[in-house]
Each structure stands twice: as C-alpha cells, then as structure tokens.
Structure 1
C-alpha cells in the first residue's frame, strides 16, 4: 500500500470535512473518492492508516417537539449515503424527538452539515411555493413538492452508486459502524428512520418541480462526478 497515496487521500478528506458546503470541499471529496477507486482502496484501508477516523458515535441532526415528516425522510436518505446509520430517539420528559446520525464522527459531522443545508434550502423553497390554481390546496401542493424532491434526491444517489461498483462500496455504511451501534444499543428496527412516504393527494406539477430542484441543488459532492482531474 502506497503511504503517499493514503496520506494524500487523508488530506483531501480532512479538507472536505472542514468545508463540505463550498466548491473546494466538494472537489476535495470527489478527488479523494476517485483516488480510492483508482488505487482500489476502501475506507477501512484509509481508517487503518489514520488516527483521526477511529472514533464512532452519534451526532444530533435535528430535534424538536414536532418534527415534519420530510425531515425524517431526508435524514434517512442522506445518512445511508454518507456512511451513517440514522434513527430517532424520544426524550419523553422534555417531549422532544431527535434525529441521530451514527457513524464515524467525521462522517456524521459531514452528514449533519449537509442535512442542515438541505433543510434550510427546502424551507426557503416552501415559503415561495405557490399552487398554480386556487383550487389546489397549498398543503397538498407542498407535500407533493417535498415528495418529488426526496424521490429525486434518492434517485441521484442511486444513479451515482450504480455508475461504479467501487464507488458504491466507498459510500456505504461500514460494517463496523453497524456492529458498534448494535453493540451499544441492540437492534433498533422500530427506531430506524424509514424513507418510505405515503401521500394521499398527489399533484404532478409540484412533484416534478421537486424532482427538478433535487437534480439541480448544489448541496452534495456528487455534483462534480462528471469532471475529470
């Protein structure tokens, strides 16, 4: 194993974690991922050579007395693509629900930052979302938009993973993270966030608009996948 390549990948990952929302951070993550694929390295190879990625734990993605359904589903989609387990926990005395990202701290921190950015983006969009007709209920129109956005975001990740078997392995939740979570908390099937969405009143215009925005929003590092070194 080439220690220079390992060191370069570690430096790129550190840069990506320091500034995940800007172009420099996204480019650094892309370059690290491409180098890993090129040299047939897994994250476990990188982790074994790095002291900064040995800790596994949880970070609170968001919390509140009543969390919107779409925030839970958004967390599930992002968590599974940023190497994290995602689950909810309830503080009964305080009446607060928390969404938790569990994984290597660097992964959980990165996922949380992207998650927070995505929530801000969607809140911005929802405030400006107007049904094209007064006959359409605003609540139903917004729900259809969110459904489309989440479906489009999930499709982007799936397309990215399907483009390369090696890349799919890079972004999947590490086995040691799953094992550590089960060791600490047991099986959490009833607390894991499920990305399935039920919708009764469906508006195709809002849905397509949501899908379109999910395909254009620049919150995620796969924006740069088509570029070459």
Structure 2
C-alpha cells in the first residue's frame, strides 16, 4: 500500500467517523482533520469517491489535418489546467503526400469532456476577438498583414491565459 493510499484511507475513515454523528464534537473534529489532510495533500472529493473506479478515455479534438501553432499552445494550456494529457497523433495513407496530424486528449471521462469543451470555447473566443481586434485596427492591406495582426493577438491571448 503506497503513502497516497494510506492517506486516502485515513481521510475516508475520518469522513466515515464524521458521518456517524454519534458524538457532535467527535464528528466535527474528524471532519476538520479530514479537511486539513485533503487541503495538505491536494485531494478532492472526486479523488475519494472515484478512486480506482474510473477508466481513462481518449478523445480527438480534431481530424487528421495540418495543426496550427496556436492549437498546440492552446491544448497545452488546457491540458495543464484540466487534469488531462494530450498528444499529437500522426497518420499518412499510402496515396497521400503529406502527413495528417490530430490533437488527442486523454484522462478521466469528466475531465476530458470539460477540457474538450473549454478548448472549443477558447478557440471560438480567440477567433472572434481576434477579428474584432483586426477590424478595430487600421484595415490591413494584405493577407500577410492580417495574419501578423492575428498572430500578435493570439500571442497576447496566450500570455494572458498563462497568467
């Protein structure tokens, strides 16, 4: 039994004692001790209730295509903040000239679902506010000027998102 398992068992026992409610003072003390241990070891209620029962799921964020630089940065930020991992999967069919890549999330089902939704929410927000930013500037004359403005906005967005 690892140290984490021992701590989880101790917290579960304290919570069980707190739920008994036979002695108010004893129950309150047990609950307080369990909360302190949970804070100290950064353990959530989900960690206690679903320990060892959930399976890891894999969910694609995209189809096989060319992945843009900002998609890689965004998925890394999302993965760092939503308890999921990501990887880039590559594939090339025999008749294709280029390699297709797609972004894939991996983790517990509810974490992957939340990260998936947050990725697309952030992507939509970035695209919308980037177009607002570009239209608010002096009208770019060329596509490369527009692309540079969009890239500048995305870089600022990522600096802000990383905090």
Q: 2: distance between equivalents of 1:4 and 1:75? A: 42
Unmatched 5+ stretches in structure 2: 1-13, 19-33
**Count of equivalent residues:** 125
Q: Superposed, which structure 2 residues align to 1:30-49 within 5 Å?
A: 38-41=35-38, 42-43=42-43, 46-49=46-49
Matched residue, 2:153: 145
For the residue of structure 1 that corresponds to 2:62, the secondary structure is: strand
The answer as to whether partners of 2:92 and 2:100 remain within 8 angstroms in 1 is yes
- 2:140 touches 2:146 (CA, 8 Å); kept in 1? no
TM-score of the pair, normalised by structure 2: 0.62
Match of 1:50 in 2: 50
Instruction: Give the number of the structure whose alpha-carbon radius of gyration is greater.
Output: 2
Tell me which residue corresponds to 1:120.
Answer: 124
- Structure-2 separation of matches of 1:71 and 1:134: 26
Q: Which residue in 1 is equivalent to 2:61?
A: 61
Within-5 A mapping of 1:66-85: 66-85=66-85
Query: 1:76 and 1:56, CA in 2 relative to 1: closer, same or farther beyond 3 A?
Result: same
Matched-pair contact (CA < 8 Å) for 1:80–1:86: no
Candidates 10, 15, 32, aligned match of 1:2: 15
2:103 paired with 1:90 = no
Q: Given the alignment, which residue of 129, 132, 136 partners 2:137?
A: 132
Q: Tell me the secondary structure at the aligned position of residue 54 of structure 1.
A: coil
Residue aligned with 2:128, SS: helix
Of structures 1 and 2, the one with the larger relative CO (CA 8 A, separation 6+) is: 1
Q: Distance in 1 between matches of 2:57 and 2:148?
A: 38
Q: Distance in 2 between matches of 1:84 and 1:57?
A: 10
Q: CA RMSD, aligned part only?
A: 3.2
